[in-house]
Structure 1
């Protein structure tokens, strides 16, 4: 990660607006605050859909689309509502029909792939928040924000080796924050605490005839992965570990799913 940059916060939200794509998404959300229209905010998990929806309708109830009965009840009692995860709705036609009849304004969130013939007619604006892998300028700021949050939570500074840190963007901000929390926890743990974790893990799983060999990967895989990362070659690592090079190569082959 690069040197610190100024954090760009947006009013009452935590939606980062550093990249051009996030600026455009926020610009659209700001426009929607003053327009009485229905809108659909699309994006992958963890990109900030719900954050922008809350920015657009700061006082509206948020209902997950999978909760069909609750959603119908809210549509009969509210003038505006945020519907999260629209792809999970049981009957989109019923929901949109009730919303029209009751003149309820809806700001909904959905995955990019969700489609239905009723969407275009009901939602006047349909826009996409790109994933973090397409707006890397935002990743650095989120990294700093999450490090600060985790530091406050743990009561100590988060120290992460940026040379070996590769941001996990598989679930965008969700996976990045989870990764930083895990890194911070790992860096503060001592050998006794680590053994307690392994003890708890093994205690619930022991019971077969070959458990020693079965669970040996828990030690060998991280040892080999760390060694390859640190020393850069199998030959050097074999010397450090006191293993025959062919033995190490065989272990690497057997453990390849854990070394990726």
Structure 2
């Protein structure tokens, strides 16, 4: 059985509404941005219902013929929604966007809107912790010293971009000098070209070196001494790399 966690009042309202009506043979649709947990929510509420994707019109039509209860994901991908008959069936649909409002009103007794992660800050820490454990296991890294507040989060694609943020952060923490050299080698092998490649790609080393030094020492004077370069040279490089 797929589990779904949320402390969001908006999501809890959707769950309560489904629980009140889940015994009725009526159809419902959950609309919201991609990767907000719509499918996971539907699976957790109706664990025994078959699941099909709107990416395959024929598969959906065949499932409707044999099932009284059905979950249809990617509903917006269906090529011919007008032919669907949900009469006397319990159909739970998820979609990334509304599509034809009149058709939606005709097909569904209940229309729910799934909030994005940016609208559910109370759920973000839970997901971060979940992804930290998952990434640490996958990458074989000790997660005990990871502070959630240090992870630069990207919520533009909801859980997908959040998960990538966590994985990238943990992967960077676990890398050693040899790993970094290997990453740079792969990048340069693909992108090195032109007539001024050395100068063009020098920033891959210089910019993070200066940024990390400024954060660590908090002083251009001290950093110039640590790096063994003239302070004016350091200022010039800060300007060249647009470092704040």
TM range (shorter): 0.7 to 0.9
The answer on whether the counterparts of 1:68 and 1:90 sit within 8 Å (CA) in structure 2 is yes
Alpha-carbon distance in 1 for matches of 2:28, 2:218: 51
Out of 130, 147, 158, the position equivalent to 1:145 is 130
Secondary structure of 2:241's counterpart equals helix
Q: Does 1:167 align with 2:153?
A: yes
Q: Does 1:251 align with 2:237?
A: no
- TM-score normalised by the chain length of structure 2: 0.82
Deviation readout 1:187-207 (Å, 9 max, x if unpaired): 111110121122223223334
* Change in 2 beyond 3 A, CA 1:37/1:164: same
Q: Structure 2 unaligned runs (5+)?
A: none
Give, in whole Å, the separation in 1 of the partners of 2:146 and 2:222.
25
The structure with the largest alpha-carbon Rg is 2
* 1:22-80: CA deviation from partner (whole Å, max 9, x where unpaired): 32232223334323211101121221100111123212332221222322232233333
Residue 111 of structure 2 aligns to a residue whose secondary structure is strand
Q: Among 202, 207, 211, which residue is 1:216 paired with? A: 202
CA distance in 2, matches of 1:235, 1:117: 67
Structure 1 distance, partners of 2:77, 2:219, is 48
Distance 1:104 1:19, change over 3 A: closer
Cα deviation for residue 244 of structure 1 reads 3.5
- Whole-angstrom distance in 1 between the partners of 2:30 and 2:142: 35
**What root-mean-square deviation, in Å, do the aligned CA atoms of Structure 1 and Structure 2 show?**
2.8
Q: State the Cα deviation string for residues 212-242 of structure 1 (Å, max 9, x = none).
A: 3343343344445545555667787667654
Match of 2:26 in 1: 37
Contact 1:39 1:123 (8 Å CA) reproduced: yes
CA distance in 1, matches of 2:52, 2:214: 47
Which residue matches 2:117?
Answer: 132
Distance in 2, matches of 1:57 and 1:213, equals 59
- The yes-or-no answer on 1:80 pairing with 2:66 is no
Please state how far the C-alpha of 1:124 moved relative to its aligned partner.
0.6
Aligned residues of 2:213 and 2:223 also touching (Cα < 8 A) = yes
Other-structure match for 2:39: 50
CA contact (8 A) 2:116 2:158 kept: yes
Deviations 1:85-116 (A, max 9, x none): 2222212212x24x44xx54321111245443
Q: Does structure 1 retain, via aligned residues, the 8 Å contact 2:154–2:165?
A: yes
